[in-house]
Chains A and B, each alone.
Chain A
């Protein structure tokens, strides 16, 4: 059991307060690894399309734990710890590749694509000399195998037998919105990572926080792409830690709520010279131009107009988080659609017109709360409970995150 100091008591207000020690405490971080990432949660590993052929593999992480993801000879996706049974060295050193078997470079112990130990070099010695005792059990320290689920081409894994089936875990409504975007076979367009100077939960809150979107990100507001008076909503799923928020474009009633409030996020006269970048096609026939979806603890699915991507949130210590982006289109896209997706990719990522601020903003909190472990943030927009909401001036899905988090953590 990892040690969280006894002084770390959640504020009496409950879900409307987030104590700042939760982003700063090494004991909390260790317990998260144990109870969340290695506990009963579904951890995102990547797109099935990244491993099209038998033998394809990639390496990634479940929390801090390195894992190998493979497609075996029968076409099934497997996930096992990237750790040799012998001395614990990484089995797989490459980010991705193709192989018939996995061999540890240290002493050449070998594994099949399902993570089974298949060979111990010189197990019986050479010419009767050396080797292991007859009753040795090298398999006893074999890399742990994770249970894998592939939902609509998205690959998730869990170490726990207690994790509910995926659809129950995220809730039927969130599952339906995953199906909406993952409606056809996908093609990977590329990827990159962003190293965020903040705790992983600050980023995960940021993605769920529909309140900030049009206030921090001026680009959208100015072009009336995500003003909060537009039609949309937030759905909270599963135990609270999964959500989907959406916006319908062309429903702007030209309200002037922002102007009346004199907010920074509206500037006069700002126009794009090349607005073609924003020309989009309604691929789903429902008028939803923006859908952001999360699955606890570290998955984001994004549809921003025709720009589609998955993001994997990977903790790298209390104050550092890797955000791994993979952009995709559908296998059936024509050249014009691919070009549209690539142009709209200017909106997202480390240089994204509507996302570059997020990299910095989460860091501003991490730095801002340095001397304030016993203070707490206020999360009362849209009330004090966790429920789906038609307004996006709400922090309901942020409270949902803390509901599920506290359930796992016993805090």
Chain B
């Protein structure tokens, strides 16, 4: 690994760390800023992904759509108080060109309900395309591939 590669690896891991802390700390208003203006975000299942079926559980193709998701969660949608705890690991980074990199990571999300119930809510992979020529790296595309086809109750907070 060259020094350049190490630097890129650290930059991507730091991006992912900041990303999950924002979600876990309920700072959802900061979440869209991890994406470029035309950034794409999608949650799907491994089954859909492998069968090349395009349906998503959440699908946005702009930062504006992500902001809409946040304001709906804050002002419109009803769900019981809950938090996530993300764990991200095994991040593989590949430089595509001077401007972009690709990263694949594993994640697990524990969901903690206000009742005290704590469960492994989701596991899967992040498939990310990341712009690396700006001040802070940002997601051009983030595809969240859930291992299971089944979601318990509802999926309100992004992953």
**Across the interface, which residues of B come within 8 angstroms of A322, CB to CB?**
150
**Across the interface, which residues of B come within 8 angstroms of A194, CB to CB?**
150-151, 153-154
In the complex the two chains form, is A360's CB within 8 Å of B80's CB?
A: yes
In the complex the two chains form, is B154's CB within 8 Å of A274's CB?
A: no
Most buried by B among A196, A267, A322, A360: A360
In the complex, which of the residues B45, B53, B77, B152 contacts A356, with contact meaning CB atoms closer than 8 Å? B77
Assembled-state Cα–Cα distance A216/B77 (Å): 9
Known contacts A192-B57, A194-B154, A274-B62: A353-B48 contact under CB 8 Å? no
Known contacts A194-B154, A322-B150, A350-B154: A360-B55 contact under CB 8 Å? no
In the complex the two chains form, is A350's CB within 8 Å of B54's CB?
A: no
Question: Can you list, as one digit per residue, whether each of B50-61 has a CB less than 8 Å from chain A (1) or not (0)?
Answer: 010111111111
In the complex the two chains form, is B55's CB within 8 Å of A342's CB?
A: yes
Whether B3 sits at the interface, judged by CB under 8 Å, is no
Minimal beta-carbon separation of B71 from chain A (angstroms):
7
Assembled-state Cα–Cα distance A134/B98 (Å): 76
Known contacts A190-B55, A327-B55: A219-B154 contact under CB 8 Å? no
Question: Can you list, as one digit per residue, whether each of A324-343 has a CB less than 8 Å from chain B (1) or not (0)?
Answer: 00010000000000100011
Known contacts A274-B65, A350-B57: A190-B79 contact under CB 8 Å? no
**Nearest-neighbor residue (CB-CB) of A223 within chain B:** B76
Query: Which A148-204 residues sit within 8 Å CB-CB of chain B?
Result: 188-197
Question: Can you list, as one digit per residue, whether each of B25-68 has a CB less than 8 Å from chain A (1) or not (0)?
Answer: 00000000000000000011101100101111111111011011
Assembled-state Cα–Cα distance A216/B78 (Å): 8
**Across the interface, which residues of A come within 8 angstroms of B153, CB to CB?**
194-197, 350, 359-360, 363
In the complex the two chains form, is B149's CB within 8 Å of A192's CB?
A: yes
**Across the interface, which residues of A come within 8 angstroms of B156, CB to CB?**
351, 356
In the complex, which of the residues B43, B56, B77 contacts A342, with contact meaning CB atoms closer than 8 Å? B56
Assembled-state Cα–Cα distance A245/B121 (Å): 34
In the complex, which of the residues A190, A267, A327 contacts B75, with contact meaning CB atoms closer than 8 Å? A267
Assembled-state Cα–Cα distance A350/B68 (Å): 17
Known contacts A222-B76, A346-B59: A270-B71 contact under CB 8 Å? yes
Whether B120 sits at the interface, judged by CB under 8 Å, is no
Q: Tell me the total A-B contact number using a CB cutoff of 8 A.
A: 116
Assembled-state Cα–Cα distance A363/B152 (Å): 11
In the complex the two chains form, is B75's CB within 8 Å of A189's CB?
A: no
Query: Which B110-159 residues sit within 8 Å CB-CB of chain A?
Result: 149-156
Whether A349 sits at the interface, judged by CB under 8 Å, is yes
In the complex, which of the residues B44, B64, B151 contacts A350, with contact meaning CB atoms closer than 8 Å? B151
In the complex the two chains form, is A351's CB within 8 Å of B57's CB?
A: yes
In the complex the two chains form, is B76's CB within 8 Å of A353's CB?
A: yes
Most buried by A among B54, B76, B79, B151: B76
Known contacts A322-B150, A345-B59, A357-B78: A351-B43 contact under CB 8 Å? yes
Known contacts A190-B44, A342-B55: A267-B150 contact under CB 8 Å? no
Question: Can you list, as one digit per residue, whether each of A256-283 has a CB less than 8 Å from chain B (1) or not (0)?
Answer: 0000000000010010111001000000
Whether A47 sits at the interface, judged by CB under 8 Å, is no
Whether B72 sits at the interface, judged by CB under 8 Å, is yes
Most buried by B among A273, A277, A322, A345: A273
In the complex the two chains form, is B149's CB within 8 Å of A191's CB?
A: yes
Assembled-state Cα–Cα distance A346/B156 (Å): 11
**Across the interface, which residues of A come within 8 angstroms of B45, CB to CB?**
190-192
**Across the interface, which residues of B come within 8 angstroms of A361, CB to CB?**
78
Assembled-state Cα–Cα distance A14/B43 (Å): 45
**Nearest-neighbor residue (CB-CB) of A269 within chain B:** B75
In the complex the two chains form, is B149's CB within 8 Å of A343's CB?
A: no
Minimal beta-carbon separation of A370 from chain B (angstroms):
14
In the complex the two chains form, is A273's CB within 8 Å of B149's CB?
A: no
**Across the interface, which residues of A come within 8 angstroms of B76, CB to CB?**
218-219, 222, 267, 270, 353
**Across the interface, which residues of B come within 8 angstroms of A327, CB to CB?**
55
Assembled-state Cα–Cα distance A191/B149 (Å): 8
Minimal beta-carbon separation of B57 from chain A (angstroms):
5
In the complex the two chains form, is A360's CB within 8 Å of B79's CB?
A: yes
Assembled-state Cα–Cα distance A350/B47 (Å): 16
In the complex, which of the residues B53, B60, B62, B151 contacts A190, with contact meaning CB atoms closer than 8 Å? B53
**Across the interface, which residues of A come within 8 angstroms of B152, CB to CB?**
195, 197
In the complex the two chains form, is B43's CB within 8 Å of A193's CB?
A: no
**Across the interface, which residues of A come within 8 angstroms of B154, CB to CB?**
194, 350-351, 356-357, 359-360
**Across the interface, which residues of A come within 8 angstroms of B150, CB to CB?**
192-195, 322
**Across the interface, which residues of B come within 8 angstroms of A343, CB to CB?**
59, 61
Most buried by B among A190, A195, A216, A346: A190
In the complex the two chains form, is A353's CB within 8 Å of B56's CB?
A: no
8 contacts across the A-B interface (CB closer than 8 A): A190-B44, A190-B55, A193-B149, A272-B68, A273-B68, A274-B62, A342-B59, A350-B155
When A and B form their complex, which 9 residue pairs have the shortest distance between CB atoms, in order from nearest?
Answer: A190-B55, A190-B53, A273-B64, A350-B151, A274-B64, A359-B154, A190-B48, A218-B76, A193-B150
Q: Which residues of B contact A (CB under 8 A)?
A: 43-45, 47-48, 51, 53-62, 64-65, 67-68, 71-72, 75-80, 149-156
